[in-house]
């Protein structure tokens, strides 16, 4: 069972984020290339739309003894829709 989500904003340097947007706009990247570029800056892609994430949501999964966490990343639009 999932616990209540812990929502944490992703701290990304503004210059790195601007560079990432520039790379994604100017280069013709394949799906894998796009994924690698986003992952290099943010650590992963949005769990729903595969966009640039701005929020990390963490859930405790299983019993409290195991300490297992599910970590998901969401962009601004998807966090409004999916995490409440």
Give pLDDT tens digits for 12-70: 888 998 898 888 888 788 888 888 889 989 999 999 998 899 999 998 887 777 778 88
Measured distance CA(63)–CA(26) in Å, rounded: 46
User: Rounded to two decimals, what is the model's pTM?
Assistant: 0.78
pLDDT of residue 30: 81
Domain ranges of the chain: 6-82
∠ CA 51-9-62, nearest 5°, is 90
pLDDT of residue 84: 62
pLDDT bracket for residue 4 (50, 70, 90): confident
- As beta bridge partners, residue 72 has 57
pLDDT of residue 5: 86
């Amino acid at each position: 069972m999932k616990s209540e989500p812990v929502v944490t904003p992703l701290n990304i340097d503004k210059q790195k984020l601007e560079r990432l947007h520039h790379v994604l706009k100017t280069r013709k990247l394949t799906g894998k290339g796009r994924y690698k570029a986003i992952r290099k800056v943010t650590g992963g892609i949005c769990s729903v739309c595969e966009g640039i994430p701005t929020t990390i949501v963490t859930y405790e999964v299983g019993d409290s003894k195991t300490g297992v966490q599910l970590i998901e990343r969401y962009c601004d639009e998807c966090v409004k829709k999916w995490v409440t």
